[in-house]
Amino acid sequence: MRSVRTVDAVLCIVLPGVLAVFAALSHMGFSDADFGDSYVMESLLMCAAVTAVCPVLRLVGLVRLPYWFIGAVSVAVYMHGVSLYYGTYRDLWWWDHLTHFTSSVVVTSVVFTSLCALVRYVPGQHLGGNAVFLALVAVVSLGMGDLWEVAEWTVDAVSGNHYMQYSVFDTMEDVAMDVLGVSTATAVLAVVLGRGTPSDAAAGLIPRLEPRGTDRRCPPHHL
């Protein structure tokens, strides 16, 4: 157990720390991006904060998310943050499509895990059968992607820049990749869920929330 806590503590430092270093370098003018050093620095600091969330939750014992899940979230965030620093969005026309696809897959996984936890650990919650549950996961995930596009437009409109939105065609391409990513992730999650229930999935994904003395193989009677 001590070795596990050591790994969690290291992740809490390393994952956001590397991005914080990139942010500092950007502030010093070393970034190769065309977006402006301040925008890149602020984006990297935000990415650093996001990568710290899952390891911190593990370290304090609130939610024991598996390491593969933390890795998936971190990869998606790093793909965006580091590529901003190096100007990859500018140099590779397909990079924006890849990052949106990857991010939508990760967002769908996060939504799936969150709703599974809601079903298992909140008394009286029932979100229908597996088909209805997965449809809800897909709809919520797509909605979050659309909200992100609105947020990008809002940031550019308020700042008077075009850092995040280039044209209506760019927005449509982003939404299309979000649909592809969510559809792919939902199909995979349907296979993973199989004949089990969201409650069973939650017990495997986040067991530390289990009440003491509860057998994870036997969900509480109210679920």
Q: DSSP assignment of 44-106, as one string?
A: HHHHHHHHHHHHHHHHHTS----HHHHHHHHHHHHHHHHHHHHTHHHH-TTHHHHHHHHHHHH
Q: Which residues of 115-134 are buried (b: 16+ CB within 10 A; e: fewer)?
A: bbbebbbeeeeebeebeebb
How confident is the model over 50-84, as pLDDT tens digits? 999 999 988 887 777 788 889 999 999 999 899 98
Write out the two tokens for 3.
């070795």
Specify the pTM.
Answer: 0.79
Average pLDDT, integer, range 172-195: 91
Q: What is the pLDDT of residue 219?
A: 42
The values of phi and psi at residue 31, to 5°, are -65, 145
How sure is the predictor about 216, in pLDDT bands with cuts at 50, 70 and 90?
very low
Cβ 42 vs Cβ 170: under 8 Å: no
Average pLDDT, integer, range 84-102: 89
Q: What is the pLDDT of residue 119?
A: 86
How confident is the model over 98-125, as pLDDT tens digits? 999 999 999 999 899 889 888 888 777 7
Work out the percent of the chain whose per-residue pLDDT is above 90.
38
Q: What is the pLDDT of residue 93?
A: 86
Write out the two tokens for 179.
């649909």
- Other residues' Cβ atoms within 10 Å of the Cβ of residue 33: 19
**What is the rounded CA–CA span in Å between residue 74 and residue 59?**
16
**What is the rounded CA–CA span in Å between residue 148 and residue 145?**
5
The lowest-confidence range among 112-116, 168-172, 173-177, 187-191 is 168-172
| 210, pLDDT greater than 60 | no
**What is the rounded CA–CA span in Å between residue 174 and residue 130?**
28
